[in-house]
Amino acid sequence: VRGRGLSEEGDSDLDEEVELTLVLTPPKTDRQDSAELSVHQRVFNIANELLHTEITYVSKLHLLDQVFCARLM
């Protein structure tokens, strides 16, 4: 029964991770300069990937903390 509760908690935390995931749209510019736009797009993609990685890391860290504390108590 105790292990079952941990599984259910883990599932609910995974659902929270999905809710925390942000979808960012690339910035729109009026310029048609493709070289400049590609640099901005690359910078945006790097920042977006970093943000997504950090959100996932914090979510997993929170889940790990909950499971670890539940076993101690």
Averaged pLDDT, 1-6: 43
Confidence at 37, pLDDT banded by 50, 70, 90: confident
Q: For residue 58, give the H/E element and its range.
A: helix 34-72
68 part of a folded domain: yes
Cα gap 30→15, rounded to integer Å: 38
Does 16 fall in a domain?
yes
pTM above 0.85, yes or no: no
pLDDT one-digit tens code per residue, 9-22:
444 444 444 444 45
Q: Which helix (H) or strand (E) holds 65?
A: helix 34-72
Question: Does the CA dihedral 33-34-35-39 come out positive or negative?
Answer: positive
Q: Is the pLDDT of residue 34 over 70?
A: no
CA dihedral of residues 7, 2, 68, 66 (deg, nearest 10)? 60
pLDDT range class, residue 69, cuts 50, 70, 90: confident
In a domain, 29, yes or no: no
Tell me which residue range forms the domain holding 12: 2-23+37-72
pLDDT at 11 (0 to 100): 47
